[in-house]
Structure 1
Amino acid sequence: MKLSVLDQSPISRGSSPEQAIKNTLKLADITEELGYKRYWVAEHHNTNGLASVSPEILIARIASHTNTIRVGSGGVLLPQYSPFKVAENFKMLEAMFPGRIDLGIGRSPGGSQDTRMALLDSINKSMSEFPRQLRDLQGFLHNTLPADHRYRLVKAAPRTKTVPPMWVLGLSERGAANAAEIGAGFVFGHFISPDKGQAAMETYREKFQPSPDFWQPISAVCIFVVCADTKEEAEELALSQDKWLLNVGKGSDIKVPSIEEVKKRTFRQDELDVIRKNRNRTVIGTPEQVKQELNRLGDHYQTDEFMIITNIYDFDAKVHSYRLLAEAFGL
């Protein structure tokens, strides 16, 4: 089993964006030493609780701070951007850190309609263009645009010897098909919506077409994990993530709350139902319990790589969770 990291640079209540970024850099150093394969950073906009808004900038900082771990985006929200410019950004990163960069692509609008239009500078662009944008991005990266393409003579620079492989992040069979048809890697977002995961992974394997990036299907599953020395401790640490996820669903303040703050809160039955449902997106327990469940899910999804996301209040406990997991799997 290979383990990787997805980091949204969450901001804990009472902390700051600056500290969240420092924590991201520290966690990247630690997980590299522990043997994690990749360290990906997210893209979120118009939020007070997640500091990672520009994966390209953060990737450059993390890659210069580390030595061997692959660094990538989870993911660049392509519907809001030019495929040509994304290709140039990541070829530049590849030129600086050859063989260490992953280009993960997401289809999300990036937030509310107003947020998306601000990203697009009020230019109306259809989300249905995503498959075409993926093909164009791949063409710019590998200089393989078809002869009749409008921008065939436009070359993405710098013209590096190697190109960062493309991955598509998805939650459904549609997302899996988008990845498969261009021969990209596929990351299923179990941490967002696990319901359609098995069907999505099967679709990806069935429809995969070899490409300059990958000659056979390669996939990973992203999942919330909270690991501690005892089950009781893990459950307590997860309380902050439970409340955070509840707030994310409501679109309210999404700074990660402390355990003490959560314990003081009285929850309505409908909120408890949401928290209980959200636990399906998470694995919580001791190292042995978490390992057993990830192995089970690995068989379920037919994958040998998990991207771990842990959004709890206490950073030291978060680091300990990643450390216990690495030791359990013998990274």
Structure 2
Amino acid sequence: MTYRLSLLDKSPIPQGHTATQALGQTVRLARRAEELGYHRFWVAEHHNSPELAISAPEVVIAFILANTSRIRVGSGGVMLQHYSPYKVAEVFGVLASLAPGRVDLGVGKTPGGLPLATSALQAAFDQGKKPDFATQFSALSTFLNGPVPEDQPFAGLAATPVPPVPAGRFLLGASPGSATLAARHGWGYVHAGHLNGDTDNLKASFEAYRAQGGQTPVLALSAYVALDQAQAAERVAGLKIFRIFLSNGSEFNLGRREHAEEFARQVGDVNYRIEERKPSILSGTPEEVHAELDRLSRTYGIEEFIIEPPPVAADERLATIELLARRAISVAA
């Protein structure tokens, strides 16, 4: 079974570097990805993060679109809980009008930052009246489909401009609930395998998506590729994530222990626990990584993978996408 390869980049800022340098590397990575034949290039959204440069993905998307000519460019994803669905529909209408047929709107459910940043982003909301994610997502779909039908709030309202080719629509998630929500609204579903590598959950999510009429889901994975398998394994061996379990039952992944502790402090939780875990990363030679992608494609009917290189140096991220493309050029055609 053949599959396409796409990329997700978070624009990591190495120690001693600046956001300007990190964003420049992201743009160079996007240009090289286009040359190598990758299908999409998505950027993530994170707030109050000194280690990640993108807090406004729509701005970076516009800049990458202006510096490339063919590759699809999108968000992986916009953190919808912080924003007006109408405004998000307008922003991506503008982007899709600037570059028809090349823009993707990927939406995520997580906050993309610690609680203090979330509070600042949502300071204008009346939290007692703020809709839940499913309601916001439904409203976004309505605005994108616009004008709003007569039997709904804001009847007759249209999100303008209306692009000649609408942005592609994807919900990023890691559960059967997210997959079901995407399918019911006719959106694509991207399963965050790089955040939740549980195979039972993956299978259940894909089954839920297809049962509700969804087409072919996409799988996002983290991968590090080198010419030598031992070198690849050694490079990712020291990478860690920290999962915090709050007393209210909520769970979050953070890149550092101190970030997890700060998360608990900001929400005023003293009865939390933190688990140190190894991130789910495919590593090996190009042949070994493609062999695993082949297996996943056959097992789950996957026709596209979105690959996120881990937060390593820019030259290593570049090497990963170049090594994968030795075969990706034919596989992703």
- CA, structure 1 residues 107+127, in 2 after alignment: closer, same or farther (shift >3 Å)? farther
Going by fraction, where is helix more abundant, 1 or 2?
1
- Distance in 2 between residues matched to 1:243 and 1:194, nearest whole Å: 14
1:11-90 mapped onto 2 (5 Å cutoff): 11-90=13-92
Residue aligning to 1:225: 223
Q: Does 1:135 align with 2:135?
A: no
Deviations 1:173-209 (A, max 9, x none): 111011010010000000001221111011001112x
Residue aligning to 1:267: none
- Distance in 2 between residues matched to 1:300 and 1:82, nearest whole Å: 38
Q: Is the 8 A contact 2:147 2:158 kept in 1?
A: no
**Partner SS, residue 252 of structure 1:** helix
1:6 corresponds to which of 5, 8, 11? 8
Q: Is the 8 A contact 1:168 1:175 kept in 2?
A: yes
- Distance in 1 between residues matched to 2:118 and 2:91, nearest whole Å: 20
Deviations 1:289-314 (A, max 9, x none): 00111111223332111111112432
- Distance in 1 between residues matched to 2:87 and 2:131, nearest whole Å: 19
- Distance in 1 between residues matched to 2:130 and 2:111, nearest whole Å: 8
Residue aligning to 2:309: 310
CA shift for structure 1 position 250 = 2.2
Residue aligning to 2:205: 200
- CA, structure 1 residues 328+251, in 2 after alignment: closer, same or farther (shift >3 Å)? farther
- Structure 1 counterpart of 2:317, one-letter code: K
Farther off after superposition, 83-92 or 189-198: 189-198
- CA, structure 1 residues 197+157, in 2 after alignment: closer, same or farther (shift >3 Å)? same
Q: Is the 8 A contact 1:29 1:66 kept in 2?
A: yes
Q: Is the 8 A contact 2:216 2:301 kept in 1?
A: no
Residue aligning to 1:101: 103
Count of aligned positions = 302
2:118 corresponds to which of 116, 119, 123? 116
CA shift for structure 1 position 233 = 1.8
Identical aligned pairs, as a percentage? 36
CA shift for structure 1 position 169 = 0.3
Q: Is the 8 A contact 1:75 1:105 kept in 2?
A: yes
TM-score, structure 1 as length reference? 0.86
- Distance in 1 between residues matched to 2:84 and 2:299, nearest whole Å: 36
Q: Which runs of 5+ in 1 are unaligned?
A: 209-215, 254-269
Could you list the structure 1 runs, at least 4 aligned residues long, displaced by more than 6 angstroms after superposition.
Answer: 244-247
- CA, structure 1 residues 36+251, in 2 after alignment: closer, same or farther (shift >3 Å)? farther
2:167 corresponds to which of 164, 168, 179? 164
- Distance in 2 between residues matched to 1:55 and 1:120, nearest whole Å: 18
Farther off after superposition, 316-325 or 180-189: 316-325
- Distance in 1 between residues matched to 2:64 and 2:29, nearest whole Å: 10
Q: Which runs of 5+ in 2 are unaligned?
A: 244-253, 261-273
- Structure 2 counterpart of 1:274, one-letter code: R
Going by fraction, where is strand more abundant, 1 or 2?
2
Farther off after superposition, 218-227 or 292-301: 292-301
- Distance in 1 between residues matched to 2:36 and 2:57, nearest whole Å: 23
Residue aligning to 2:287: 288
**Partner SS, residue 227 of structure 2:** coil
TM-score, structure 2 as length reference? 0.85
Deviations 1:208-229 (A, max 9, x none): 2xxxxxxx61321111100000
CA shift for structure 1 position 243 = 4.1
Deviations 1:80-135 (A, max 9, x none): 11110000000000110011000001111232332212101252447862222222
- CA, structure 1 residues 295+251, in 2 after alignment: closer, same or farther (shift >3 Å)? farther
Residue aligning to 1:266: none
CA shift for structure 1 position 139 = 1.6
- Structure 1 counterpart of 2:151, one-letter code: D
**Partner SS, residue 111 of structure 1:** coil
- Superposition RMSD in Å: 2.1
Q: Does 1:190 align with 2:190?
A: no
- Structure 2 counterpart of 1:100, one-letter code: R
**Partner SS, residue 159 of structure 1:** coil
2:152 corresponds to which of 133, 136, 149? 149
- Distance in 1 between residues matched to 2:105 and 2:133, nearest whole Å: 15
- Structure 2 counterpart of 1:221, one-letter code: L
Q: Is the 8 A contact 1:43 1:75 kept in 2?
A: yes
Deviations 1:241-277 (A, max 9, x none): x147796152539xxxxxxxxxxxxxxxx98x723xx
**Partner SS, residue 162 of structure 1:** coil
Q: Is the 8 A contact 2:36 2:329 kept in 1?
A: no
